[in-house]
Amino acid sequence: MKAVICPFCGVAGEVSHQTQQACIDALQAEIARTRRILESVTEPLPAASIGEDPDPQVT
């Protein structure tokens, strides 16, 4: 699959966009795609526990 980076909006696509509307559509699609990726990979970040780690007793 050949990808072209649109010089106007920077979104990779099959072709560079010929109209502003095409760029807007591509950007919105890119945002939606990125959101789905972020939602699927979201992991709870470890809380900053410097100096207050409960340190459970492991036996």
Q: How far is the CB of 4 from Zn ion (least distance, A)?
A: 10
Cα separation, 16 vs 3, whole angstroms: 9
How many chain residues touch Zn ion (CB under 5 A)? 5
**One character per residue 4-43, x = contact with Zn ion (rule: CB under 5 A):** --x-xx-------x-----x--------------------
CA distance 39 to 35: 6
Q: Under the rule (CB under 5 A), what is the footprint of Zn ion?
A: 6, 8-9, 17, 23
